[in-house]
Amino acid sequence: MKKIQYTLVALSLVITQCTSSPEDKKSLQSDSHSPKVTSSTLLPRILYTDIDPTISVKGRSQAEIKDLLYQMYEVDQRYRDSLLNQNRPGRDRFYSQRMGACDAANRILLDKIIEEVGWPTISQFGEKGADAAWLIVWHARNDKHYLAKYLDLMQQAAERKEMDSTNFHWVKERVEWQARQQ
């Protein structure tokens, strides 16, 4: 089944590349540390990700979603760690490309999780699960719309001590800063 999904994604990639506007192609050159994810930019990136963003979270148990959040956390950190630890010429582009693809896939999965169960909290998914959700949003900090998308949910979680309040404040300050820049 997974092979069929990846084949469909690859086929979609070919079609998208043939029909993409010049603006869509420019958006592929966005900051690799916080890629802007659109339907046009996701397909090329999905081929480089270590996590399948097409999986469904509907009907999954809390334990299964917790496992998925832990996997998302590991994927989020994998290439960032590699960039810090493997400072070899030529590898930075590879790690940055992989990191951007994993960030895009994680954002899709996080959206699905939040739609299904709300903001991932410490009591539901553990500290690592809650941190995974925050990291995914934080790594989209150059996309002001995505960064602000879950601000209210994060504030509620922070007030209930269901997420690290420092992490929430970083997001809040970044959203406020971006609003002042307009």
For tokens 């809040």, the residue is 172
Residue 52: name the closest of 123, 112, 2 by CA: 2
Q: Pick from 7, 34, 37: which is nearest to 24 by CA?
A: 37
Give me the pLDDT at residue 22, please.
39
For the chain, 182 residues long, give each residue's pLDDT as a single digit of tens.
555 544 444 444 433 343 333 333 333 333 334 344 444 454 555 556 788 899 999 999 999 999 999 999 999 988 887 777 666 666 777 788 888 899 999 999 999 999 999 999 999 999 999 999 999 999 999 898 998 999 999 999 999 999 999 999 999 999 999 999 87
Q: 3-state secondary structure string, 33-100?
A: CCCCCCHHHHHHHHCCCCCCCCCCCCCCCHHHHHHHHHHHHHHHHHHHHHHHHCCCCCHHHHHHHHHH
Q: How many CA atoms lie within 13 A of 167 on its CB side?
A: 23
Rounded Cα gap, residues 114 and 117, in angstroms:
5
- Provide the whole-model pTM: 0.73
Beta carbons of 57 and 109 less than 8 angstroms apart:
yes
Rounded distance between C-alpha atoms, residue 171 and residue 66, angstroms: 23
Note the residue count of the chain. Answer: 182
pLDDT at 86: 63
What is the pLDDT, as a whole number, of residue 1? 53
